[in-house]
Amino acid sequence: MGLKVLKFGGSSLADAAHFRIVADIVRAEKERRFVVPSAPGKRFKEDEKVTDLLYACQALAAEGKDIDDIFGRICRRYNDIIEELGLDLSLEDEFSVIREKILGGAGKDYAASRGEYLNGLILSAYLGFDFIDAQKVVFFKEDGTLDSERTYVVLGAALENHPHAVVPGFYGAMPDGSIRTFSRGGSDITGAIVARAAGADIYENWTDVSGFMMADPRIIENPKSIDVITYKELRELSYMGATVLHEDAIFPVRAAGIPINIKNTNDPSAKGTLIVPTANDSETDSIITGIAGKVGFSIISIEKDMMNAELGFGRRVLEVLEVNKISFEHLPSSIDTMCVIVKTDELEGKREKILDAIFRLTDPDAVVIHDGIALLAVVGRGMVHSMGTAARVFTSLAKASVNIRMIDQGSSELNIIVGVEESDYVPALRAIYNEFVQ
Ligand code: ADP
Ligand code: ASP
Ligand code: MG
């Protein structure tokens, strides 16, 4: 018998009506045995996410301020769900423990994790599934990375003992037992870890869109959805801001060859997007699979005549970044110019130091840092087989009067990255989308 692990995002569990839909989805197939919930998300556009409220509570408590108003709003969210579902369940004891701990100085991670913890308790009661606390089965190492070895042994054994279970997403335990969360959106990672530990046949990631779209639906109206995408393509797109799935959620399942199916809770019969280890290029009739982008980058541009002939020039520049603990995103260069693309926020407080060090170590003609850059990634496994894709990208941008600040084509011919001014980000995305999709 096949085994499916399902993760439901915040909007899929935002209120009782959604809990009902989720229960129908889970019960529709007996293979759907393990469920990973997020904290309640937004019910409508201006609504608050419980996770954000918990962070806010913790911040207030840390300043010695009163948390009762916000904490009350959190409790109400859960109590409304419990009441409307008619569950014989009270979380009042849990609420008072959490409130005391937050007031007693508990950290951000503890506070935020309670969003999924409480939602997991409700979902397990509603589905009649066992509850497995992620604190007891998902482990981090001292450096904050996942302790895969320990997690897969302990979680794998726990899942074997439960025919059906709910494992809350987003958090686990540090070696000393204290709570630690993944970064925002991290329930996707828990879902992938549970799928791997359970040896699932498929990891179903249920959200509020019918799969991965070719571009951000908040920018492109009704974008086409992607039927099949490879892990590699998805990683490029999620890293560049297509946030449907947390960028780190791919690793646990990729290693085990488990496909991910992105599905829409509000339209369960839609096929969604299947994310697979490899796909036959001939299966895709489009040259590009998707486009994504992000703002908030800076270009450090270093000029020096005959730079290309100078041994060790690039290494010295990168050393400056390494010493200052800055990672770089791209490194497009020409004969006399080297550009390093970095995240702007990583430069904070370090600009002078970096410029000084680059001057000292490389004796350049000029060094400037240009902020306000957006990067766009045009991604597609079909690009290898088609001529002139880059030319089409550039022509479409030129027609939209977008000035290109940087170009980098990955050596795998899976992507083309362009850097533009942030003010050109939206027109650039639209221009490329229209060129390839319309
Ligand atoms: P969840 O709460 O279910 O984890 P997220 O909000 O994390 O959901 O991710 C789903 C959202 O991702 C969509 O509602 C959509 O606004 C956004 N999104 C960004 N890029 C894309 C894309 N390329 N395709 C689909 N959705 C996208
Ligand atoms: N609730 C957490 C967040 O808002 C984790 C998640 O939803 O995946 O980031
Ligand atoms: Mg998410």
- Candidate from 22, 36, 209, 379 with most ligand 1 atoms within 8 A of CB, to mutate: 209
Average pLDDT over residues 317-334: 92
Distance between Cα 118 and ligand 3 center (Å): 18
| Nearest protein CA to atom 7 of ligand 2, as residue | 185
Ligand in closest contact with the CA of 216: 1
Distance between Cα 13 and ligand 2 center (Å): 12
Confidence of residue 328 (pLDDT cuts 50, 70, 90): very high
CB of 169 within 6 A of ligand 2: the answer is yes
Distance between Cα 203 and ligand 2 center (Å): 18
**Phi, psi at 293, each rounded to 5°:** -160, 165
Q: What is the pLDDT of residue 86?
A: 98
CB of 45 within 6 A of ligand 1: the answer is no
CB of 382 within 6 A of ligand 1: the answer is no
The model's pLDDT over 52-106, given as tens digits with 9 standing for 90+, comes to 999 999 999 999 999 999 999 999 999 999 999 999 999 999 999 999 999 999 9
CA 154 to CA 174: how far, in whole Å? 14
Q: What is the pLDDT of residue 5?
A: 98
Which single residue is written with the structure tokens 């571009």?
Answer: 215
What is the CA angle 382-387-388, rounded to 5? Answer: 110
Q: Which residues have CB under 8 Å from 27's CB, separation 6+?
A: 127
Confidence of residue 238 (pLDDT cuts 50, 70, 90): confident
The model's pLDDT over 257-279, given as tens digits with 9 standing for 90+, comes to 999 999 999 999 999 999 998 87
Ligand in closest contact with the CA of 109: 2
Tell me the CA distances in angstroms from 324 to 42, 159, 328, 332, 344, one per residue in order: 39, 43, 11, 21, 14
| Nearest protein CA to atom 8 of ligand 2, as residue | 185
pLDDT-above-70 percentage for the chain = 98
The model's pLDDT over 34-49, given as tens digits with 9 standing for 90+, comes to 999 999 999 999 999 9
CB of 185 within 6 A of ligand 2: the answer is yes
CB of 187 within 6 A of ligand 2: the answer is yes
Q: What is the pLDDT of residue 281?
A: 54
The model's pLDDT over 132-162, given as tens digits with 9 standing for 90+, comes to 999 999 999 999 999 999 999 999 999 999 9
Quickly list H helices, 211-312.
231-239, 250-256
| Nearest protein CA to atom 6 of ligand 2, as residue | 185
CA 213 to CA 225: how far, in whole Å? 4
CB of 213 within 6 A of ligand 1: the answer is yes
The CATH number corresponding to 4-278 among 3.40.830.10, 3.40.605.10, 3.40.50.720, 3.40.1160.10 equals 3.40.1160.10
Distance between Cα 97 and ligand 3 center (Å): 27
Q: What is the pLDDT of residue 387?
A: 82
Q: Which residue has the higher pLDDT, 282 or 363?
A: 363
Confidence of residue 332 (pLDDT cuts 50, 70, 90): confident
CB of 172 within 6 A of ligand 2: the answer is no
Q: What is the pLDDT of residue 20?
A: 98
What is the CA angle 227-233-235, rounded to 5? Answer: 115
Nearest to 111 by CA among 121, 125, 100: 100
Count of CB atoms within 10 A of residue 366's CB?
10
* Domain map (residue ranges) of the chain: 4-278, 290-436
The model's pLDDT over 176-208, given as tens digits with 9 standing for 90+, comes to 999 999 999 999 999 999 999 999 999 999 999
Nearest to 19 by CA among 42, 37, 33: 37
Average pLDDT over residues 359-386: 92
Average pLDDT, rounded, for the chain: 94
Nearest to 377 by CA among 258, 237, 220: 237
pLDDT-above-90 percentage for the chain = 86
Q: What is the pLDDT of residue 305?
A: 92
Average pLDDT over residues 374-391: 89
Distance between Cα 112 and ligand 1 center (Å): 20
Distance between Cα 438 and ligand 2 center (Å): 34
Does 1 score more than 70 pLDDT? Answer: no
Distance between Cα 17 and ligand 2 center (Å): 20
Whether 4-278 shares its CATH topology with 290-436 is answered no
Amino acid identity of 103? L
Protein fold of 290-436: VC0802-like (3.30.2130)
Q: What does pTM read for this prediction?
A: 0.87
**Phi, psi at 125, each rounded to 5°:** -65, -40
**What's the distance, Cα to Cα, between the start and end of the chain in Å?**
42
Amino acid identity of 70? I
Distance between Cα 103 and ligand 1 center (Å): 34
The CA-based diameter of the chain, rounded to the nearest angstrom, is 76
Ligand in closest contact with the CA of 187: 2
Distance between Cα 375 and ligand 2 center (Å): 25
The model's pLDDT over 268-324, given as tens digits with 9 standing for 90+, comes to 999 999 999 887 655 566 789 999 999 999 999 999 998 888 889 999 999 999 999
Q: What is the pLDDT of residue 420?
A: 97
Average pLDDT over residues 327-341: 90
